[in-house]
Structure 1
Amino acid sequence: MVKISIIIPVYKVEKYLRRCLDSVLAQTFTDFEAILVDDCSPDESGAICDEYAKKDNRFKVIHRKQNGGASAARNLGLKTSQGEYICFIDSDDYVVPEYLETLLQTIEETQADIVQCGYYEVIDGIVRKDERERFLESYTSQQAFGLLYGDGRNDILDFVMCNKIYKKDMIKDLCFVEGLRCEDAIYISEIMMRVKKVSVSNRPIYYYCRHDDSVMGQMQKEKDDLIMSHILAYRQVAMYAETNASDYMQKLSNARLAAFYVSAIKNNMLKGNKQLKAMLKEDKKRFSFLKNKRIPFIKRLVLAIGS
């Protein structure tokens, strides 16, 4: 068994992949395996993966015969992994040489189930400076879920998968939902409901890269699709919370779901959308904080979340 498994889904990233894999090769901590899941990439990404596997046997390549998306690739990587701890790195991102060493040292010293680090934003190759004062704090599951869902400071925990290290025993039976956007939000939420302790350092040791070719369009259809994706994701979280979380966590997940229904209403998405109307009707029972039945339900929902 290796100490850390790094899972890297790969799809159409030939332009950035070597930078990512070189940063993994440069790690000061060496007891790791890097599982590269080539998701039937149409460019040279798969060949680049094979190139690194030939040069270093810690790199293991899985070539999928059919594209299944990031969630399917992560699930396959997780199933294959042998490590005591799990990390995820996106194939167009990269990490500092001390990335694994720092995360491992922190999770062992704090005895946490998850450790989150800070990250630099890299926009079209330009690294944004992060001059915030550094901290390392630990939280219970309930505290962490509250921070994640905005009950208090909202700049501590995030829904990003790739700036964290996880105890494998904590996540090995938890699968990413396939075929949905916002899958990270579902996965992180469900993890937070089952952990005992989460440690957070805002020291940036991960480079999160955004490119012109990956920026979402701002057209109305794209906006509507994103809102719908969030509703589907947070419905999943709310359903999981019903049987796996405290009342406090259930209330927060229901409030987050309600907020996205309000966004849908404000964007006039209910008109002609039978699926969305049916979901909202089914989810009314979750919004027990809306008591005044003399006001129409949709108006109560908008008033409760805010204008």
Structure 2
Amino acid sequence: MRKEKNMPAISVVMPVYNTKEYVGKAIQSILDQTFSDFEFLIIDNGSTDGSGDVIARYAQADSRIRVIHNEKNVFIAEARNRALELVQGEYLNLIDSDDWVLPDMLETMYSRAKEHDAQYVVAGYFMDYYVNGRNESYAVCPDDKDYEQKEFRENAIRYLTRTILTVPWNKLYSIPYLREHNIKFRNTKLEDHHFNMDILMDVERVSMVSKPFYHYYRSRQGTDSELVYNQFLNQKKRDHIAHTLEVYKHWGIQDANTMGQLADYHMGRLVQCVMQTVANQQITKKEKYQELQKIIDDPYTEFAKRNALNASKKIAILSIPIRMKSKKLCYLMGWGVARFKANFSEIYYTMRASVAQGALRVK
């Protein structure tokens, strides 16, 4: 694609809702980029904590910032879609308002996009945890490689199962490609995954950048996202595997090895569902058993059991209660993992990052 004269190279989009404590760092990390040819759309999504005042101060100081005001908070998909209608750039980059990025992110990714005429550029990222009084980072990195469509489809599984492709913020998206294929965020509980899978359905040129740039906070001091129960978690995992299988069917790739790797991945997510269900303090033990039974009886659980390669011995062991269809054993497994996490949190996070994303701890 040839960039038009007055078109910014990159449109950075950031929805903001009540992140006053962190949004300044997020904005500054974009303004500190070594690459300057970008516009920065910030959506104040009905914030009530003073985030809007922070945004306004930055907008007054830098003309690249455009602020969109929503009078009330809307789904993040709706906020992003509104921005997609307004962006003027060649490529789209997304950032969450409580994260931050390294200063060479846009320059490195845009350079790679132009070299390969890529429609979809993917970089590594950091998962940040607050553990035992200090911050710990784990790097998740793809191979450094450019793909044409056929080769990408043959290799996509290695990135899908490490959660590199389905998160929204470690990427550059070709805006003309999004508009040509009418791709938008869905108003669902899994909008990030669906957005990326809709792109992957027919994408022709993909570039992978092995360096991590994006710092994604999984937990901060005084918080832990894994302890926040999500009543839609199991439904999200079902939708995740269903859409992924739909894409692979469209690609004509349904061999036993690929299906086995997807089954392993889904089984790992089911173990996560069990753990969060048991850890939930907002529902009774009876309700926990009911939720566990739903996980056990789900048809995609059967898909995982039937096709799993059991490549990860840790997941294979933790999933034994699911395979046995025993909600009591599922409960005990979830309780045991929660106790292990409470007493050996550093080991837990290292194991979790390594198993789930193939991540390496950053010293």
> Normalising TM by the smaller chain, what interval?
0.7 to 0.9
> Is the 8 Å Cα contact of residues 45 and 69 (structure 2) preserved in structure 1?
yes
> Is the 8 Å Cα contact of residues 263 and 303 (structure 2) preserved in structure 1?
no
Deviation of residue 200 (structure 1)? 0.8
> Is the 8 Å Cα contact of residues 135 and 203 (structure 1) preserved in structure 2?
no
Is 1:248 the counterpart of 2:256? The answer is no
Alignment counterpart, residue 44 of structure 1, candidates 30, 50, 53: 50
Partner of 1:295: none
Alignment counterpart, residue 202 of structure 1, candidates 198, 203, 210: 210
Q: 1:178 to 1:44 in 2, by over 3 A?
A: same
Is 1:162 the counterpart of 2:164? The answer is no
Is 1:302 the counterpart of 2:305? The answer is yes
> Is the 8 Å Cα contact of residues 10 and 37 (structure 2) preserved in structure 1?
yes
The C-alpha deviation readout for 1:134-189, integer Å capped at 9, x for no partner, is 952122335434544449x9459432211111111112321111131x32111111
> Is the 8 Å Cα contact of residues 112 and 197 (structure 1) preserved in structure 2?
yes
Is 1:178 the counterpart of 2:187? The answer is yes
Amino acid corresponding to residue 225 of structure 2 in structure 1: M
**SS at the partner of 1:29?**
coil
Quote the RMSD (CA, aligned, Å): 3.7
The C-alpha deviation readout for 1:48-73, integer Å capped at 9, x for no partner, is 11221111111011111221122122
> Is the 8 Å Cα contact of residues 264 and 304 (structure 2) preserved in structure 1?
yes
> Is the 8 Å Cα contact of residues 4 and 87 (structure 1) preserved in structure 2?
yes
Whole-angstrom CA distance in 1 between matches of 2:231 and 2:224: 16
Alignment counterpart, residue 238 of structure 2, candidates 227, 231, 252: 231
> Is the 8 Å Cα contact of residues 142 and 249 (structure 1) preserved in structure 2?
no
**SS at the partner of 2:97?**
coil
Partner of 1:86: 92
Amino acid corresponding to residue 67 of structure 1 in structure 2: N
**SS at the partner of 2:195?**
helix
Identity percentage over the alignment?
A: 25
Tell me the TM-score normalized by structure 2: 0.65
> Is the 8 Å Cα contact of residues 128 and 136 (structure 2) preserved in structure 1?
yes
Amino acid corresponding to residue 247 of structure 1 in structure 2: G
Alignment counterpart, residue 103 of structure 1, candidates 109, 120, 124: 109
> Is the 8 Å Cα contact of residues 112 and 198 (structure 1) preserved in structure 2?
yes
> Is the 8 Å Cα contact of residues 147 and 157 (structure 1) preserved in structure 2?
no
**SS at the partner of 1:179?**
coil
> Is the 8 Å Cα contact of residues 2 and 33 (structure 1) preserved in structure 2?
yes
Is 1:192 the counterpart of 2:197? The answer is no
Deviation of residue 121 (structure 1)? 2.6
**SS at the partner of 1:35?**
strand
Deviation of residue 255 (structure 1)? 8.6
> Is the 8 Å Cα contact of residues 116 and 164 (structure 1) preserved in structure 2?
yes
Alignment counterpart, residue 67 of structure 1, candidates 73, 76, 99: 73
**Structure 1 residues 111-130: aligned runs within 5 Å:** 111-124=117-130, 126-128=135-137, 130=139
Whole-angstrom CA distance in 1 between matches of 2:37 and 2:63: 12
> Is the 8 Å Cα contact of residues 156 and 200 (structure 1) preserved in structure 2?
no
Deviates more, 1:81-90 or 1:142-151: 142-151
**Structure 1 residues 9-28: aligned runs within 5 Å:** 9-28=15-34
Partner of 1:286: none
> Is the 8 Å Cα contact of residues 227 and 263 (structure 1) preserved in structure 2?
yes
Partner of 1:57: 63
> Is the 8 Å Cα contact of residues 140 and 164 (structure 2) preserved in structure 1?
no
Runs (5+) with no aligned partner, structure 2: 1-6, 275-288, 311-322, 324-363
> Is the 8 Å Cα contact of residues 7 and 86 (structure 1) preserved in structure 2?
yes
